[in-house]
Amino acid sequence: MSERVLFRGARIVDPVAGRDEVADVSVVDGRIDQVGPGIEAAEAEVLDCAGLVLTPGLVDLHTHLREPGFEYKETIASGTRAAAAGGFTAVSSMANTDPVTDHAGIVAEIRDKAAEAGAADVFPVGAITKGLAGESMAELGEMVEAGVRVFSDDGNCVPTARMLRNALVYAKAFPAEVVIADHCEDASLVEGGHMHEGVQSSSMGLAGRPAEAEEIVVARDLAIARATGGRIHICHVSSARSVELLRRAKRDGVRVTAEVTPHHLVFTDDDLVGYDTNFKVHPPLRTAEDREALRGAVADGTIDVIATDHAPHAVEEKESEFDLSPPGTIGLETALAAVLTHLVAPGIVELPRAIEAMSAMPARILGATGHGGSIDAGAPANLTAFDPSETWVVQAPFVSKARNSAFLGRELTGRVRHTMLRGALTVADGKVRG
Amino acid sequence: MNRHVLSMHDLTADDVIRVLDTAESFREVGTRVIKKVPALRGRTVVNFFLENSTRTRISFELAAKRLSADVINFAAGGSSVAKGESLKDTALTLQAMGADAIVIRHSSSGSPLQLTKWVEGHVINAGDGTHEHPTQALLDLYTMRERLGRLEGLRVAIVGDVLHSRVARSLCIGLVTMGAEVTLIGPPTLIPPDAPTWGVQVSYDLDAVIPKLDVCYMLRVQRERQRLEYFPSVREYNRLFGLTGARAGVLPEGSLIMHPGPMNRGVEIDSDVADLPQAVIEEQVTNGIAVRMSLLYLLLGGAADRVDDADV
């Protein structure tokens, strides 16, 4: 017997097809069957979607799932369940695992575990350098054959211009578009630093990570991409001047994409005054001026993608002294609501553009086939339905194993109700299944 | 007064005057044969020192003991994390011991503030990372006021590694609160870029400033900073920013030379200068006990506006 699900009366926002209208969507055997008004409900599980927004399933370009190696922080199972809870049908998995995701064996292991868990598809990101050591290139070809499309030493900046140049050039060998993604912070300027360098870091007595540490690496990477024709992606942009560099490079035709996190779009270094370690992130939260530039860059497409940089840590690691705490905030379960509350509701970013930045764009970069596409008959049924008007307060526990959220205690408007992965509901009525 | 003393920002000018006035009463206790008053009998003060510090810990210990409080020294070589225990767990342990006040010294900026989230007792910052050291500032203010008779309008230079100095941060805030005129002097690499917003002057020329000073306050310079390229050599540092005998000779009559200790003789201050009569460095140490008694008393002693004669 075939599995049928009917989304009844949702506002369909499909940035790829340019559709924004109220309609029904029926799903049969994992694929979208019909889209339109008044679809027959025969033998279908009917989800009343009046007042809800239905979009392509969200895709996260920047997720730390921590497995293998750091299962006490998060596992593939718990991380993908958190993803589903946040409306994601696909996530990446950053390479800073232990062992490092720098060869095909680990890629396969992560994929297998994700398939077994079944809450979201996982597209592993491979390391650019062996062991993330920045010294010798990992075997990119083997990982490309295993399906990897994005390479990053995230957490570390690619340390030398030569290494980055060679990776960008070497990646041209492959028929698929392979993306070299960089965490842009000059190590010599951020060594020992814990927050944005400015008035706030000075009064808090914390060594800073200056904005120029990011900007000089963004400029370096763009110069090399321009010269080589390589395909570069700038991770978690945090500074207004980086945005300017990107804007100019894009105008000049450099093959570059960029992402920003919800926390950089919402918070500033003023939020650190209480030494709350959940606001300790790399790159750091900067000034209101930087935040405004980042918001504008999402609106005009200079920044292509909103990605979470979901970085789970154990409670005891984050309940430590500020300088000793590891950097990172979780983000999968709050990303959509944060974007709706702080970018869409105030009219800074149109809803279709926000959804595009969280589904179609990251899916394209990640090579996540079947995700982030148009809501059309025949397409894989990867869908997210959310209530744009439900207001809630972010509280622990989370679906994630971790609770280090910068959004703890914050009121957000917009909540995921249903998430569907290839026709199966991973979240139904706000509850994660399985 | 604020429940906790984490930063000099927690104290108003009136608070500072109250602490200094009360310290004056306690200063006399230290000159007696029996240096003890019953003011805090039955109260528990925990000295929670996660960074090596003999002088500040002993000063707080003596202060609490002279007030008859029970004192627990809870020291550890490294951080709580290094021992595998979170700061929170350590805090809850101190709380379970029934600490009325916790004096914390820690290499991590902000740890005293974090502690206040987990304990009920009063928290006193005895130095946190490169953030603040408010009791050092109070004892310095006490010493200046006692020697020079006022704080308002005093011309004070703070010389050296301001960027990494918790002493400089707290003292700046305190001096500005009390209406003094502060000039920060040091290599530009060791002066915080936002210093002009602190309500102080910045100069890189010690010789130009020194003839007009009431107080020349020298900061300790760690040789480690040279490795990190903040300045080229100790020799050049001493030549440009050290308090040499020649410079001390240009200081106006009656001005003070101060240093929070421990000194690097021959680096920021020449040995002979440290022993001049206007160098009040040991006096700062002595005053520290009275000031810390005053602070503990005001925080724990209840609402009394004045020190009861019976307590003193």
Please identify which residue in the block is written with the tokens 């209406």: B179
**A189 inside 8 A of chain B by CB:** no
Query: CA angle A204-A210-A216, nearest 5°?
Result: 175
The dihedral sign for the CA sequence B223, B224, B228, B230: negative
User: So what's the pLDDT on residue A434?
Assistant: 74
Residues A349, A353, A354, A355, Cα dihedral to 10°? 160
Output phi, psi for A129, to 5 deg.
Answer: -120, 150
| Residues 6+ positions from B198 with CB-CB distance below 8 Å | B172, B173, B176, B182
Kindly determine whether residue A322 and residue B114, on different chains, have CB atoms separated by under 8 Å: yes
Whether the pLDDT of residue B77 is over 70: the answer is: no
Q: State the amino acid at position B285 in one-letter form.
A: V
Residue B29: band (very low, low, confident or very high) from pLDDT cuts 50, 70, 90:
confident
Q: State the amino acid at position B214 in one-letter form.
A: D
Give the orientation angle of helix A161-170 with respect to helix A211-228, to 10 degrees.
40
Domains and CATH numbers, chain B: 8-132+287-300 (3.40.50.1370), 134-284 (3.40.50.1370)
User: What is the number of other CB atoms lying within 10 angstroms of the CB of residue A140?
Assistant: 21
- CA-to-CA distance for A305 and A290, rounded, in angstroms? 17
Closest CA to A419 of A371, A360, A351: A371
The pairing of beta strand B201-203 with beta strand B181-185: parallel
E runs forming strands in A277-410: 305-306, 383-393
Closest CA to B241 of B185, B202, B192, B164: B185
Kindly determine whether residue B87 and residue A319, on different chains, have CB atoms separated by under 8 Å: yes
| Catalytically active residues of B, by annotation | 55-56, 83, 105, 133
CB A155 within 8 A of CB A131: no
Q: Which residues pair with A412 in a beta bridge?
A: A392
In angstroms, the separation between the Cα of residue A213 and the nearest Cα of chain B is 16
| Residues 6+ positions from A329 with CB-CB distance below 8 Å | A263, A278, A279, A281, A309, A311, A404, A405, A406, A407
**A206 inside 8 A of chain B by CB:** yes
- CA-to-CA distance for A222 and B41, rounded, in angstroms? 68
DSSP B40: T
Whether the pLDDT of residue B85 is over 80: the answer is: no
Kindly determine whether residue A322 and residue B106, on different chains, have CB atoms separated by under 8 Å: no
Closest CA to B307 of B289, B294, B288, B290: B294
- CA-to-CA distance for A259 and A233, rounded, in angstroms? 8
**A326 inside 8 A of chain B by CB:** no
Kindly determine whether residue B111 and residue A205, on different chains, have CB atoms separated by under 8 Å: no
- CA-to-CA distance for B143 and B281, rounded, in angstroms? 10
- Taking CB atoms and an 8 Å cut-off, how many pairs form between chains A and B? 64
- CA distances to A153, A231, A420, B139 from A6, in Å: 42, 40, 12, 74
Residue B52: band (very low, low, confident or very high) from pLDDT cuts 50, 70, 90:
confident
Q: State the amino acid at position A23 in one-letter form.
A: A
Name every chain B residue with its beta carbon within 8 A of the beta carbon of A322: 108-111, 114
Whether the pLDDT of residue B304 is over 50: the answer is: no
Per-residue b or e along B103-132, where b marks 16 or more CB atoms closer than 10 Å to that residue's CB: bbbbbbbbbbbbbbebbebbbbbbbbbbbb
The pairing of beta strand A305-306 with beta strand A256-260: parallel
Name every chain B residue with its beta carbon within 8 A of the beta carbon of A274: 113
Residue B83: band (very low, low, confident or very high) from pLDDT cuts 50, 70, 90:
low
User: So what's the pLDDT on residue B94?
Assistant: 86
User: So what's the pLDDT on residue B305?
Assistant: 42
Q: Locate B76 and state its tokens.
A: 């550890």
Kindly determine whether residue A206 and residue B110, on different chains, have CB atoms separated by under 8 Å: yes
Query: CA angle B139-B141-B144, nearest 5°?
Result: 110
**A289 inside 8 A of chain B by CB:** no
Kindly determine whether residue A204 and residue B166, on different chains, have CB atoms separated by under 8 Å: no
The pairing of beta strand A256-260 with beta strand A232-234: parallel
Closest CA to A357 of A337, A375, A336: A336
Query: For a pLDDT cut of 90, what percent of chain B falls above it?
Result: 78
Q: Which residues pair with A126 in a beta bridge?
A: A151
In angstroms, the separation between the Cα of residue B129 and the nearest Cα of chain A is 7
Return the SS3 of A279.
helix
CB A93 within 8 A of CB A107: no
Active site residue A252: no
Q: Which of residues B78 and B293 earns the better pLDDT score?
A: B293
First-last CA distance in chain B: 21
Name every chain B residue with its beta carbon within 8 A of the beta carbon of A320: 79-81, 86-87
In angstroms, the separation between the Cα of residue B114 and the nearest Cα of chain A is 7
- CA distances to A111, B40, B60 from B102, in Å: 51, 14, 11
Kindly determine whether residue A323 and residue B108, on different chains, have CB atoms separated by under 8 Å: yes
Q: State the amino acid at position B230 in one-letter form.
A: Y
Q: Locate A269 and state its tokens.
A: 């270094």
Whether the pLDDT of residue B69 is over 90: the answer is: yes
* From A205, A320, A321, residue closest to B166, measured CB to CB: A205
Closest CA to B297 of B286, B288, B306: B306
Mean pLDDT of B223-239: 86
- Which residue in chain B has the smallest CA separation from A191? B228
Q: List, for residues B98-144, the tens digit of each pLDDT value.
A: 899 999 999 999 999 999 999 999 999 999 999 999 999 999 999 99
User: So what's the pLDDT on residue B84?
Assistant: 65
Kindly determine whether residue A205 and residue B87, on different chains, have CB atoms separated by under 8 Å: no
**A347 inside 8 A of chain B by CB:** no
User: So what's the pLDDT on residue B306?
Assistant: 43
Per-residue b or e along B214-253, where b marks 16 or more CB atoms closer than 10 Å to that residue's CB: bbbbbbbbbeebeeeebbeebeebbeebbbbeebbeebee
Closest CA to A280 of A292, A291, A271, A289: A271
Domains and CATH numbers, chain A: 4-54+378-398+409-432 (2.30.40.10), 57-366 (3.20.20.140)
- Provide the residue count of chain A: 434
Whether the complex's predicted ipTM surpasses the cut of 0.85? yes
What string of pLDDT tens digits covers the 434 residues of chain A?
A: 568 999 999 999 999 999 999 999 999 999 999 999 999 888 899 999 999 999 999 999 999 999 999 999 999 999 999 999 999 999 999 999 999 999 999 999 999 999 999 899 999 999 999 999 999 999 999 999 999 999 999 999 999 999 999 999 999 999 999 999 999 999 999 999 999 999 999 999 999 999 999 999 999 999 999 999 999 999 999 999 999 999 999 999 999 999 999 999 999 999 999 999 999 999 999 999 999 999 999 999 999 999 999 999 999 899 989 999 999 999 999 999 999 999 999 999 999 999 999 999 999 999 999 999 999 999 999 999 999 999 999 999 999 999 999 999 999 999 999 999 999 999 999 999 97
Residue in A33, A121, A154, A309 annotated catalytic: A309
* From B86, B113, B194, residue closest to A319, measured CB to CB: B86
Closest CA to A178 of A219, A132, A233: A233
* From A203, A205, A321, residue closest to B87, measured CB to CB: A321
- CA-to-CA distance for B50 and B104, rounded, in angstroms? 8
Which residues does B contribute to its contact with A (CB < 8 Å)? Answer: 79-81, 86-89, 106, 108-111, 113-114, 128-132, 166, 169, 192-195, 197
Closest CA to A417 of A42, A37, A8, A3: A8
Kindly determine whether residue B131 and residue A206, on different chains, have CB atoms separated by under 8 Å: yes
Mean pLDDT of B148-169: 97
- Which residue in chain B has the smallest CA separation from A194? B109
In angstroms, the separation between the Cα of residue B7 and the nearest Cα of chain A is 10
Name every chain A residue with its beta carbon within 8 A of the beta carbon of B194: 198-199, 202-203
Per-residue b or e along A272-309, where b marks 16 or more CB atoms closer than 10 Å to that residue's CB: beebbbbbbbbbbbbbeebbebbbbbbbeebbbbbbbb
CA within 13 Å, CB half, B56: 27
First-last CA distance in chain A: 22
Mean pLDDT of B265-287: 95
**A274 inside 8 A of chain B by CB:** yes
